[in-house]
């Protein structure tokens, strides 16, 4: 036996701490007198405290008044069981003790709850059976032989019961017997003629392993009842429904007599019904569930009516109670709720779930199943075949609003009355599957070669049969081309400059990758298409003339036109461009020159223009522009310097001589190519710095020499200084005389003309006999 109680509390508590703070104590029913229930310490230093037990609920004498002792400066209170304590958890398992604690003027009340717990090792006789007076029962002398008279209820199972007291005749008509179930049976000879006798029976109950208890049963035999108590109605059958709740009225019986009381004598004990001891109303005491208790379908009741003061004056009534089944419970289904998720590629006919339903009222009965759609209302994607929910149609998520959550319910109906139904909610979520790869149509874009960066060329439009159809990302395979495609919109834009002459077209492979079209976010499909970008030629290079500067000398003949030169112009970057326009935009005084295509012509037929007597130089500016279909038209300006020398019939070596030029001679065109050197800028800088350093060095050397000369002059005498001065002056005079000498003038030919002539032959004129130099290519002459 284990004592279930807490340890002694060794905490010093103030008085206010006990207020409304109950203690809870668990104690075994095997504890006897003197057992300590609770120990607690109290602090009261100024006065002598008191501890009282005010009351116990339910009232009992099992508890002693609390004791209070002083120990090491504190007071220790204890609650113990009294000498009359006989705890029985089956009789009372909970007590409430109200305690009052007084410390001077402070009074505090607290509650102690005592829970009596069953002791599984304790088997004993309980109740009035184990009391000294024993249990007293009363029976009629008219009881039938072998009838059960009393049932002894004891804790535990497997107990053996024996009647140990003597049952010797002639006082006993025969022995009473008791079985292992605790039922006391009447003697086989009956009790007829034993009225007013009292039989005391000592009963020994053995539980095994040497454990036992004993008690007493006293049987009082009552005389046969008189005929004053009787039932006016005859036996009858009563039908009730099984859905009656406990306490419902079944029937009311009525017997004639004075101060009649009623009781059920069969079956004993009666589990399903009870009768009002005074009013005779039979009521239900338990649920009449035929499924759980099939034996409740038919119950035969025997009701006894007797006078309260004359119990032997009684009458009995037999009747039958039939319990009719009622369809009270709807079918129960498993699963009670169905939520599933399937991909859109699930084949038709795939089973999703099988529903198993039973009728609690009629097990094994046939149930009816119906499929009801809620959203969408007219869906045909699901069907119900023999309790199996299947896919009925292709589940397609590739259209707007097609991939839905199918909400439905399975309606299950039983066959009872009234009709009961159960609805099983169904939620089928169709998830998308990335089935198709994105595609796009090959396209051709055109762009001018002078287009600026970020210019929009067009858009690549991708399509995807999976929904959503525009969940596509674009990219270009390879990164060498000067183009880019927007990742989301597919717009193709220019990134860098273009050059028609270097590359006229580009072929780009655009990759398309879909996303957000599958339940798995990492599942992607890709496709590609080719776009062609053609670069449109733009006239972005001006023509260049070779050479850009020309200097020519021509001999013009009066009244004739002369071809001066042909402009040689081209576009190096675009050698195919050959059409140019030419126009003189400057230096064409008196309009003596004109252009015939690329040919510069000297016109001597201008009316009103005087014939030049002296050579004249013209610096012509010729604008050369491309004349093709491309725009804009770019141009360049070439410079042609023409030295015009009038041609006469004769030319003399001096102003007094004239030479006749044969009419058969044609004007000459002399081209002079002047070569000049244009150094690099860095060379000019280096040369300038070097020259400056050289000049500084020479200046320093000269100053050093002058200082040395000054020192020499100061050291010499005056006569030498005079001699040196005269020498210097004489030298100065000779120099000035040389500078003032008269210059000799010689006649010169025009430098611009004579410097250009080259005479490779010498001959003698046949008429005059004078010698002259001549040029075999041009025919020009120079008299000697």
Q: What is the pLDDT of residues 47-77, one digit of tens each?
A: 788 888 899 988 998 899 988 888 777 888 8
Question: By CB neighbour count within 10 A (0-12 exposed, 13-18 middle, 19+ buried), where does 624 fall?
Answer: buried
- Run of H or E residues at 734: helix 718-739
Per-residue pLDDT band at 158 (split at 50, 70, 90): low
Averaged pLDDT of the chain = 79
- Within 10 angstroms of residue 195's Cβ, the number of other Cβ atoms is 15
pLDDT in tens, 248-279: 999 999 998 888 999 999 898 898 999 999 99
What pLDDT is recorded for position 700? 93
For the beta sheet containing 405-413, the strands, ordered from the edge strand earlier in sequence to the opposite edge, are: 338-343, 421-431, 405-413, 368-375
DSSP state at residue 627: -
Provide CB contacts within 8 A for 244, sequence distance 6+: 250, 284, 288
Cα separations (Å) of 771 from 230, 377, 590, 693, 762? Answer: 195, 128, 39, 56, 7
- Rounded Cα–Cα distance for residues 238 and 253 (Å): 12
What mean pLDDT comes out for the span 747-761? 49
pLDDT value at 725 more than 50: no
pLDDT at 533: 92
206-229 mean pLDDT: 79
Q: Where are the alpha helices (DSSP H) in 50-209?
A: none
Q: Which of 8-12, 106-110, 245-249, 648-652 comes out lowest in average pLDDT?
A: 8-12
346-386 tens-digit pLDDT: 888 899 999 999 988 778 888 999 998 887 766 678 889 88
Residue-level pLDDT at 758: 63
pLDDT tens per residue, range 462-519 = 988 888 888 899 999 877 788 999 999 999 999 988 888 788 899 999 999 998 878 8
Looking at residue 122, its pLDDT comes to 65
Task: Output the pLDDT for position 253.
Answer: 92
Look at 593 and 668; give whichever has higher pLDDT: 593
Tell me if 379 sits within 8 A of 373, measured CB to CB.
yes
Sequence-distant (6+) residues with CB within 8 A of 43 are 12, 13, 14, 15, 74, 75
pLDDT in tens, 93-150: 899 999 888 888 888 888 888 998 877 666 567 667 777 788 899 988 888 888 898 8
The percent of residues above 70 in pLDDT, for the chain, comes to 81
pLDDT number for residue 729: 42
Please give the pLDDT value at position 660: 32
Residue 634, helix vs strand vs coil: coil
Per-residue pLDDT at 629: 66
A 10 A CB-CB count for 503 gives: 13
pLDDT band at 696 (very low <50, low <70, confident <90, very high): very high
Question: What pLDDT score was predicted for residue 716?
Answer: 55
d(CA 275, CA 295): 20
**pLDDT per residue over 547-557, tens digit each?**
888 888 888 77
pLDDT for the residue 222: 87
The Cα-based distances of 761 to 670, 766, 771, 782 in angstroms read 18, 16, 11, 10
Go through the domains of the chain in sequence order and give each one's CATH number: 23-115 (2.60.40.60), 135-222 (2.60.40.60), 238-324 (2.60.40.60), 332-410 (no CATH), 439-536 (2.60.40.60), 544-646 (2.60.40.60)
Q: What is the pLDDT of residue 673?
A: 55
Question: How many whole angstroms from its chain centre is CA 67?
Answer: 71
Please give the backbone phi and psi of residue 684, each rounded to the nearest 5 degrees, phi first: -60, -40
**What's residue 748's pLDDT?**
39
The pLDDT value given to residue 685: 87
Look at residue 732 in the predicted model and tell me its pLDDT.
41
- pTM (two decimals): 0.40
């Amino acid at each position: 036996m284990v004592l279930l109680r807490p340890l002694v509390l060794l905490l010093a508590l103030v008085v206010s701490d006990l207020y409304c703070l109950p203690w809870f104590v668990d104690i075994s029913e095997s504890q006897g007198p003197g057992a300590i229930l609770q120990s607690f310490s109290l602090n009261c230093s100024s006065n002598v405290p008191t501890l009282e037990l005010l009351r116990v609920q339910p009232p009992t004498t099992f508890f002693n008044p609390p004791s209070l002792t002083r120990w090491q400066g504190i007071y220790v209170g204890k609650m113990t069981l009294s000498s009359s304590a006989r705890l029985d958890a089956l009789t009372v398992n909970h007590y409430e003790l109200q305690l009052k604690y007084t410390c001077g003027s402070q009074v505090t009340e607290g509650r102690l709850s005592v829970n009596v717990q069953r002791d599984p090792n304790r088997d004993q006789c309980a109740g009035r059976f184990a009391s000294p007076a024993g249990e007293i029962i009363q029976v009629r002398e008219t009881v039938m032989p072998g009838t059960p008279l009393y049932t002894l209820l004891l804790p535990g199972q497997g107990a053996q019961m024996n009647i140990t007291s003597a049952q010797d005749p002639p006082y006993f008509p025969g022995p009473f017997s008791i079985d292992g179930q605790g039922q006391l049976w009447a003697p086989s000879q009956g009790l007829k003629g034993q009225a007013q006798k009292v039989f005391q029976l000592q009963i020994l109950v053995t539980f095994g392993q040497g454990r036992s208890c004993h008690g007493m049963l006293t049987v009082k035999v009552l005389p046969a009842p008189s005929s004053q108590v009787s039932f006016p109605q005859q036996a009858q059958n009563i039908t009730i429904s099984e859905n009656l709740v406990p306490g419902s009225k079944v029937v009311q019986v009525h017997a004639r007599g004075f101060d009649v009381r009623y009781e059920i004598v069969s079956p004993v004990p009666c589990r399903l019904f009870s009768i009002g001891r005074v009013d005779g109303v039979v009521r239900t005491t338990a649920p009449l569930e035929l499924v759980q208790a099939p034996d409740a379908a038919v119950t035969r009741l025997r009701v006894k009516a007797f006078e309260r003061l004359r119990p032997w004056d009684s009458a009995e009534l037999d009747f039958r109670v039939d319990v009719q089944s009622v369809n009270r419970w709807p079918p129960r289904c498993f699963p009670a709720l169905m939520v599933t998720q399937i991909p859109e590629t699930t084949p038709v006919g795939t089973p999703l779930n099988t529903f198993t339903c039973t009728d609690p009222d009629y097990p094994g009965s046939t149930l009816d199943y119906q499929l009801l759609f809620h959203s969408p209302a007219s869906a045909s994607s699901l069907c119900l075949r023999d309790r199996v929910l299947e896919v009925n149609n292709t589940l397609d998520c590739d259209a707007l609003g097609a991939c839905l959550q199918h909400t439905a319910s399975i309606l299950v109906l039983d066959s009872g009355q009234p009709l009961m139904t159960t609805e099983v909610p169904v939620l089928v979520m169709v998830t998308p599957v990335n089935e198709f790869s994105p595609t796009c149509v090959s396209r051709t874009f055109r762009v001018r070669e002078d287009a600026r960066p970020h210019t929009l060329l067009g858009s690549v439009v991708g399509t995807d049969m999976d929904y959503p159809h525009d969940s596509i990302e674009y990219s270009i395979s390879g990164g060498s081309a000067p183009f880019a495609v927007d990742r989301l919109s597919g717009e193709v834009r220019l990134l860098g400059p273009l050059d028609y002459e270097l590359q006229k077209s580009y072929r780009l492979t655009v990759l398309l990758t879909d996303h957000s079209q599958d339940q798995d976010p990492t599942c992607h499909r890709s496709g590609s298409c080719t776009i062609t970008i053609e670069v449109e030629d733009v006239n972005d290079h001006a023509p260049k003339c070779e050479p850009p500067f020309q200097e020519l000398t021509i001999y013009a003949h009066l009244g004739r036109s002369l071809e001066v030169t042909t402009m040689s112009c081209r576009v190096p970057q675009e050698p195919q461009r050959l059409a140019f326009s030419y126009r003189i935009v400057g230096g064409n005084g008196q309009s003596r020159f004109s252009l015939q295509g690329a040919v510069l012509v000297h016109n001597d037929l201008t009316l009103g223009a005087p014939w030049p007597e002296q050579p004249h130089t013209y610096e012509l500016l010729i604008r050369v522009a491309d004349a093709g279909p491309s725009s804009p038209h770019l141009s360049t300006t070439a410079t042609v310097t023409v030295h015009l020398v009038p041609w006469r019939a004769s030319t003399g070596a001096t102003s007094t001589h004239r030479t006749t030029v044969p009419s058969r001679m044609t004007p000459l065109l002399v081209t002079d190519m002047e070569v000049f050197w244009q150094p690099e800028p860095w060379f000019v800088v280096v040369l300038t710095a070097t020259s400056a350093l050289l000049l500084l060095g020479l200046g320093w050397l000269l100053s050093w020499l002058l200082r040395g000369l000054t020192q020499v002059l100061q050291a010499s005498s005056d006569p030498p200084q005079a001699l040196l001065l005269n020498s210097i002056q004489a030298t100065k005079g000779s120099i000035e005389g040389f500078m003032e000498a008269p210059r000799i003038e010689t006649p010169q030919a025009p430098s611009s003309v004579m410097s250009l002539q080259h005479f490779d032959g010498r001959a003698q004129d046949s008429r005059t006999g004078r010698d002259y130099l001549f040029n075999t290519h041009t025919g020009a002459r120079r008299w000697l």
